[in-house]
Amino acid sequence: MTYEEYLLEKEKRLGICIEHMNHGVSFVDIETAYIDKTVVIGEGTLIGPCVTIEGNTVIGRNCSILQNTRIKDSVIGDEVEITASHVLESKVGDKTKVGPFAYLRPKSDIGKNCKVGDFVEVKNSTFGDGSKASHLTYIGDSDVGKNVNLGCGVVFVNYDGTNKFRSEIGDGAFIGCNTNLVSPVKVENGAYIAAGSTVTEDVPENALCIARARQTNIEGWAETKGLYRKNK
């Protein structure tokens, strides 16, 4: 690309942003916003610096699409906040917060009033209204109900090396930190999974699932192995 071609492309890009401004969209730094002509953005939405919005994306009213976010071919509801995240071929419901550093891969359908937090990845899954995955979680090939809490480090183990499998989490379930859900499993409404569990069987409604070995402390073990270190 020559410098003259670059200036022409920049002029076109800024023209698109200015058109959005004329329809009630605000920009933190219009010079660093990259928006395709096919994109639709609702009135009252704020676009942060270094944001890229591509393809047939539709963004609702009064959203905050904040710094370093990329959205492609997705539908974003009203009053959504997305920070430093990637959203690809997915849907995000009204008043949901995404990021920072979340990754919504294709065919993710996030409900209303949800939280998809930092370092959470969602792929080919539904996530019901009011559900939360605040950090460090992988949600793959699953259907998560309403008002579900996924703790830190929850992993949907959806691939056995040959085939992909799907899991289902019922409304109001609580999945404790560092839980592995080995698909296909069904966790029914209101069930609780204890932290550190590896779940390989269905969990009944309102049950508590504990799927981990009981802790054993072997006194003096380090000393017998010549590894003992006296505290100073």
pLDDT at 14: 95
For the chain, what are the domain ranges?
1-123, 125-232
Residue 138, class by beta-carbon neighbours within 10 Å (0-12 exposed, 13-18 middle, 19+ buried)? buried
Kindly tell me if the per-residue pLDDT of 227 is higher than 80.
no
86 is catalytic: no
Q: Which CATH class is domain 1-123?
A: mainly beta
Check if CATH label 3.40.50.300 holds for domain 125-232: no
Strands 174-175 and 149-150: parallel
Report pLDDT digits (tens) over 105-130: 999 999 999 999 999 999 999 999 99
Q: Whole-number mean pLDDT of the chain? A: 95
With b for 16 or more beta-carbon neighbours within 10 A and e for fewer, the 139-178 pattern comes to: bbbbbbbbbbbbbbbbbbbbeeeeeebbbbbbbbbbbbbb
pLDDT at 224: 86
Residue type, 111: G
Split at pLDDT 50, 70, 90, the class of 140 is: very high
Split at pLDDT 50, 70, 90, the class of 3 is: confident
- Any idea which of 41-55, 92-106, 125-139, 209-223 has the lowest mean pLDDT? 209-223
Residue 159 per-residue DSSP state = B
Q: Which long-range contacts (C-beta less than 8 Å, at least 24 apart) are formed by 83-91?
A: 90/122
Q: Whole-prediction pTM value?
A: 0.93
* Residue 4 CA, distance from chain mean position: 40
**Same CATH topology for 1-123 and 125-232?**
yes
pLDDT at 231: 58
Q: Which of 20, 23, 86, 135 is catalytic?
A: 135
Q: How far separated are the first and last CA of the chain, in Å rounded?
A: 66
Is the peptide bond prior to 49 cis by the omega test (within 30 degrees of 0)? no
Kindly tell me if the per-residue pLDDT of 213 is higher than 70.
yes
pLDDT at 87: 98
pLDDT at 221: 85
